[in-house]
């Protein structure tokens, strides 16, 4: 759940793509540096391991991961730093025999990578350290009792607000949806809007929080749709009203994942992520506080989504055991590197909970409060069986309800049909 | 194919000639087939690898359950086709792009023809205006889309469009956020018009300059000037160009991707409005879904649809009909 990036594929690439899946695979096969040095050992160890990362925005991250890799003694690790649309590139590369051996993927591999046997079981890598990882995070990457990803760092989304603006308007930080709507109205004056939930009014990002805060979820424990109920429909109807209220910032130059809107004074409260804190601190000093998404209705509880890039091992890795050993070395054993990775460049929470106490940046202020949200209010971003198809259907529905005023109950019912159909693939 | 045929003819002529070398001494480089393959081979190889095989492979994939694999084993018959045709989001994307094509094709046609006629009629600053109108063609769709999104049609009051609205006392409009009314269409269609009008204008200009002057002179003698001259001389004389322009415009409209994607996609994905089928299929096959079966089935359906439109249009405009 790192900062989402906008891929910019050209029409030509896409034509080459949709019409020509095979060409994509062929190109991936012959394209550029895959990170593997052909065959023989060029380093100190017995073989070479190709490791892929997406391009982290913060300076120094690439040098850091290369430094960690270079320190590994048992094999030569070639790090490939992938700019652009990492998810698509890595997914395409996994179709070929020249993809990565070790790669990171948001919230672990997808369910189709697991059932398609593109990734291998990593359950035995955790050992005694298992209890040190957030259980919900591990559960998100576990299918039929087997773990398929080792969380690298945890990110979370939350609400930030300008303390001074709330004090001036006599508004206390909202803990329920009704209070939030009320606060958005009171905080709106002139060009400053009360609340920013993204330029689509929260349609793209608030699905999870709305479900959890009403006391529901995407799927039940036994993977049945759990989102189609009157509370969720009611909450979406409220967001629909909020969208038209004039109290919501719309059309901001940057979207929710960027701190621009609140730090430039366009709004008093904004939904965003932990990764914006260095910039927020720089722009606003101590004038910002943090909140989880407010509770909705009588049975609801405040909530936030969290996610993690996880290290996975490709089933096509040249030497699966060597790749697994490296993953264990770096993301389970090397706690100093993990702390450095989480703290020194971007702004993340270490995935081993024992490291959170050692993280200087998370010791005080809003960051400390935010890190505490994971245990208190946190939910994994989406369940493992919430496939991209289900996700697209649900986000489309959110958008149609919030922005174009579609009937919430009817729209959710049609999503339920899609999700049920999708679940049949894993029955 | 006429070149190698001609080559073999001349080779044949050479053979029957008096200076004919003994067959044994004929050099291997004389073989006309060799030169055919030397020149055509690389192109054909590229075509096969990057176009023909992928198309065939794609059609093959469309009959398989192919999640996260391009070498599937589970044959599903026409299930993927049924699924795609039954998918309301795919159907709505097809409608989107038919509506988009129905608007953008005639609009671009009229504006570019209009500009060409005006430019042709003016004697002052013709080269200047021709360049001005043509320059946007050199701009990338992606760059233009980003300028439209972040410069002109940004929702805050300091955006260009909102500044203009402010001069006349109107409130700023969040162009890409609201869907009632669908202002995003204004953003998308204006950027496309800006980008492509100049190109078709140049095609029309070239065609206009080929219309013989004496036709206009004769018509003027008969009293046909102005609109009448355009209606009875200019427009009919432009028929071949118009047909080609319409065809190119239609294909271009159906290929819509770049500016839609760069104007409307957000960190949360692509919204369910103004979603062209290519973007929808891109997400299914190559995006997070990685479902090559359904994606390929959708691509085949789309290809058939484009073929039908092209055939109908060809029939209506007489593309390929002999000039006589």
> What is the domain partition of chain A in residue ranges?
11-155+307-380, 156-305+383-426
Scored b (16 or more CB within 10 A) or e, A10-49 reads ebebbbbbbbbbbbbbbbbeeeeebbbeeeeeebebebbb
Count of domains forming chain B: 2
In chain B, residues 46-75 whose CB comes closer than 8 Å to chain A: 49-51, 53-55, 57-58, 61, 67-70
Pairing assessment for the beta strands A76-82 and A48-54 based on DSSP bridges: parallel
All residues of chain A having their beta carbon less than 8 Å from the beta carbon of residue B291 are 389
* pLDDT tens per residue across span A316-345: 999 999 999 999 999 999 999 999 999 888
Residue B269 touches chain A, beta carbons under 8 Å: yes
Residues B174 and B91 in one domain: yes
Q: In this structure, is residue B69 part of a structural domain? A: no
Residue B44 clears pLDDT 50, i.e. is over it? yes
pLDDT of residue B57 exceeding 50, the answer is: yes
- H-helix or E-strand spanning residue A153: strand A150-161
Pair B136, B217 in one domain: yes
Q: Does A399 touch chain B (CB under 8 A)?
A: yes
Q: How many angstroms away from the CA of B256 is the closest CA of chain A?
A: 8
Q: How far is B244 from chain A (nearest CA, A)?
A: 21
Range of the domain at B104: 83-317
Q: How far apart are CA A23 and CA A17, in angstroms?
A: 7
CB contact, 8 Å: B177 with chain A?
yes
pLDDT of residue B15: 45
CB < 8 Å to A111, chain B: none
**Token duo for residue A284:** 């606003």
Same fold: A11-155+307-380 with A156-305+383-426: yes
Q: Closest by alpha carbon to A336, among A78, A64, A150, A63?
A: A64
Q: Is the CB of B313 inside 8 Å of chain A's CB atoms?
A: no
* pLDDT 10s digits, A175-230: 999 999 999 999 999 889 999 999 999 999 999 999 999 999 999 999 999 999 99
Q: Are residues B152 and B234 in the same domain?
A: yes
Q: Do B289 and A387 touch (CB under 8 A)?
A: yes
pLDDT of residue A2: 45
Chain Cα centroid distance, residue A185: 30
Contact assessment for residue A246 and residue A185, using Cβ atoms and an 8 Å cutoff: no
Distance of alpha carbon B189 from alpha carbon A19, whole angstroms: 26
Beta carbons within 8 Å of B77's beta carbon, 6+ residues apart:
B63
Looking at the structure, do residues B186 and B254 belong to the same domain, yes or no? yes
What is the percentage of chain A residues whose pLDDT exceeds 90? 76
A23 and chain B: CB distance < 8 Å anywhere? yes
* Residue in A21, A201, A204 closest to B54 by CB: A21
With beta carbons under 8 A apart, name residues in chain B contacting A399: 271-273
Q: Is residue A152 less than 8 Å (CB to CB) from chain B?
A: no
Q: What is the mean pLDDT of chain B?
A: 87
Nearest to A22 among B54, B150, B157 (CB): B54
Torsions phi, psi for A332 (to 5 deg): -115, -50
Determine, yes or no, domain membership for B132.
yes
Sequence length of chain B is 324
Domain co-membership, B141 together with B250 = yes
| pLDDT tens-digit map of B145-192 | 999 999 999 888 888 999 999 999 998 899 999 998 999 999 999 999
Question: Is CATH 3.40.190.10 the classification given to domain A156-305+383-426?
Answer: yes
Q: Compute CA A205 distance to the chain's CA centroid, rounded to the nearest angstrom.
A: 11
Work out the number of other CB atoms within 10 angstroms of the CB of residue A380. 23
Q: Do A324 and A51 meet the contact criterion of CB atoms below 8 Å apart?
A: no
Entry field: residues in chain A? 427
Residues B7 and B156 in one domain: no
Q: CB-CB: which of A113, A201, A414 is closest to B177?
A: A201
Measured distance CA(A36)–CA(A78) in Å, rounded = 6
Minimal-distance CA residue of chain A relative to B281: A18
Which of A22, A91, A405 is closest, CB to CB, to B57? A22
Band the pLDDT of B254: cuts 50, 70, 90: confident
- Phi first, then psi, for residue A397 (nearest 5°) are -65, -45
Q: Which ipTM was obtained for this model? A: 0.81
φ/ψ of residue A26, rounded to 5: -65, -40
- pLDDT on residue B22: 54
Q: How far apart, in Å, are the Cα atoms of A117 and each of A148, B69, B140? A: 11, 10, 40
Task: Choose among A23, A88, A405: nearest Cβ to B287.
Answer: A88
Residues B142 and B208 in one domain: yes
Residue A391 contacts residue A316 (beta carbons within 8 Å): no
Residue that the structure tokens 């192109």 belong to = B43
Q: State whether A22 and B178 contact (CB < 8 Å).
A: no
Q: Cα separation of A246 and A376, whole Å? A: 32
Residue B176 to residue A199, Cβ atoms within 8 A: yes
A423 in reach of chain B (CB within 8 A): no
Residues 6+ apart with CB under 8 A from B131: none
Question: Both B31 and B151 in a single domain?
Answer: no
The 3 state secondary structure assigned to B155-201 is CCCCCHHHHHHHHCCCCCCCCCCCCCCCHHHHHHHHHHHHHHHHHHH
Contacts with A359 (C-beta within 8 Å, 6 or more apart), sequence order: A339, A342, A343, A349, A350, A371
- Pairing mode, if any, of strands A102-106 and A304-313? antiparallel
pLDDT for position B7: 42
Instruction: Tell if the CB–CB gap between A4 and B268 is shorter than 8 Å.
Output: yes
Contact present, B261 and B279 (Cβ < 8 Å): yes
Note whether B120 and B6 are same-domain residues.
no
B40 and B116 fall within a common domain: no
Report the alpha-carbon distance of residue A196 to residue A247 in Å, rounded. Answer: 9
Could you tell me how many CB contacts below 8 A there are between chain A and chain B?
Answer: 186
**B residues 74-133 lying closer than 8 A (beta carbon) to A:** 88-89
- Is B198 found in the same domain as B143? yes
Do B53 and B91 lie in one domain? The reply is no
CATH of the domain at B138: 1.10.3720.10
Residue A27 host element (H or E) = helix A21-30
CATH homologous superfamily for the domain A11-155+307-380: Periplasmic binding protein-like II (3.40.190.10)
> Does residue A44 sit in helix, strand or coil?
coil
Nearest to A106 by CA among A386, A360, A394: A386
């Amino acid at each position: 759940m790192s900062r989402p990036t906008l891929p910019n594929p050209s029409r030509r690439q896409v034509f080459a793509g949709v019409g020509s899946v095979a060409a994509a695979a062929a190109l991936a096969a012959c394209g550029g540096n895959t990170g593997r040095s052909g065959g023989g050992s060029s380093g100190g160890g017995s073989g070479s391991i190709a490791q892929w990362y997406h391009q982290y925005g913060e300076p120094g991250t690439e040098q850091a991961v290369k430094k960690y890799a270079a320190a590994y003694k048992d094999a030569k690790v070639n790090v490939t730093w992938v700019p652009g649309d990492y998810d698509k590139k890595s997914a395409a590369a996994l179709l070929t025999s020249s993809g990565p051996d070790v790669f990171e993927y948001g919230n672990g591999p997808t369910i189709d990578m697991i059932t398609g046997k593109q990734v291998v079981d990593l359950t035995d890598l955790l050992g005694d350290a298992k209890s040190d990882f957030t259980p919900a995070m591990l559960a998100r990457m576990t299918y039929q009792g087997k773990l398929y990803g080792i969380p690298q760092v945890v990110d979370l989304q939350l609400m930030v607000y300008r303390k001074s603006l709330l004090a001036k308007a006599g508004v206390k930080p909202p803990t329920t949806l009704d209070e939030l709507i009320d606060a958005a109205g009171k905080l709106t004056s002139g060009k400053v809007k009360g609340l920013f939930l993204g330029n689509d009014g929260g349609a793209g990002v608030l699905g999870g929080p709305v479900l959890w805060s009403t006391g529901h979820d995407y799927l039940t424990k036994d993977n049945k749709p759990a989102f189609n109920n009157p509370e969720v429909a009611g909450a979406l109807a409220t967001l629909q009203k909020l969208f038209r209220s004039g109290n919501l910032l719309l059309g901001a130059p940057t979207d929710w994942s960027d701190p621009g809107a609140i730090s430039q004074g366009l709004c008093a409260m904004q939904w965003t992520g932990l990764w914006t804190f260095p910039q927020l601190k720089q722009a606003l000093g101590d004038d910002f506080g943090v909140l989880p998404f407010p509770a909705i209705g009588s049975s609801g509880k405040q909530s936030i989504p969290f996610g993690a890039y996880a290290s996975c091992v490709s089933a096509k890795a040249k030497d699966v055991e060597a790749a697994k050993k490296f993953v264990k070395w770096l993301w389970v054993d090397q706690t100093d590197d993990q702390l450095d990775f989480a703290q020194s460049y971007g702004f993340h929470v270490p995935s081993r909970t024992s490291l959170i106490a050692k993280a200087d940046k998370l010791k005080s202020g809003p960051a400390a409060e935010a890190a505490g949200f994971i245990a208190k209010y946190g939910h994994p971003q989406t369940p493992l069986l919430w496939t991209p198809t289900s996700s697209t259907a649900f986000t489309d529905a959110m958008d149609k309800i919030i922005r174009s005023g579609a009937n919430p109950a009817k729209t959710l019912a049609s999503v339920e049909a899609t999700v049920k159909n999708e679940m049949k693939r894993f029955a | 194919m006429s070149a190698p045929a001609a080559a073999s003819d001349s080779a044949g002529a050479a053979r029957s000639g008096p200076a004919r070398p003994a067959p044994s001494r004929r050099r291997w480089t004389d073989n006309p087939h060799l030169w055919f393959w030397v020149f055509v081979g690389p192109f054909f190889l590229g075509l096969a690898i990057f176009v023909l095989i992928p198309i065939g492979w794609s059609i093959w994939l469309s009959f398989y359950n192919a999640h996260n694999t391009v070498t599937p084993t589970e044959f599903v018959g026409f299930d993927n086709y049924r699924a795609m045709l039954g998918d309301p989001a795919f159907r709505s994307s097809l409608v989107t792009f038919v509506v988009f094509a129905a608007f953008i094709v005639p609009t671009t046609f009229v504006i570019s023809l209009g500009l060409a006629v005006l430019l042709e009629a003016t004697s002052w600053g013709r080269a200047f205006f021709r360049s001005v109108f043509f320059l946007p063609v050199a701009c990338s769709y992606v760059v233009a889309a980003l300028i439209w999104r972040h410069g002109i049609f940004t929702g805050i009051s300091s955006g260009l469009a909102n500044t203009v609205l402010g001069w006349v006392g109107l409130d700023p409009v969040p162009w890409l956020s609201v869907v009632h009314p669908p202002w995003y269409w204004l953003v998308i269609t204006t950027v496309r018009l800006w980008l492509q009008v100049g190109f078709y204008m140049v095609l029309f200009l070239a065609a206009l300059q080929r219309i013989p002057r004496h036709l206009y002179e004769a018509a003027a003698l008969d009293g046909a000037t102005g609109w009448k001259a355009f209606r009875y001389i200019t427009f009919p004389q432009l028929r071949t160009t118009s047909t080609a322009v319409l065809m190119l415009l239609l294909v271009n409209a159906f290929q819509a991707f770049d500016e839609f994607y760069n104007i409307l996609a957000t960190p949360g994905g692509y919204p369910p409005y103004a979603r062209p089928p290519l973007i929808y299929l891109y997400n299914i096959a190559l995006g997070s879904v990685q479902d090559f079966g359904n994606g390929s089935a959708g691509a085949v359906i789309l290809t058939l649809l484009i073929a039908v439109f092209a055939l109908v249009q060809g029939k209506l405009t007489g593309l390929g009909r002999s000039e006589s």
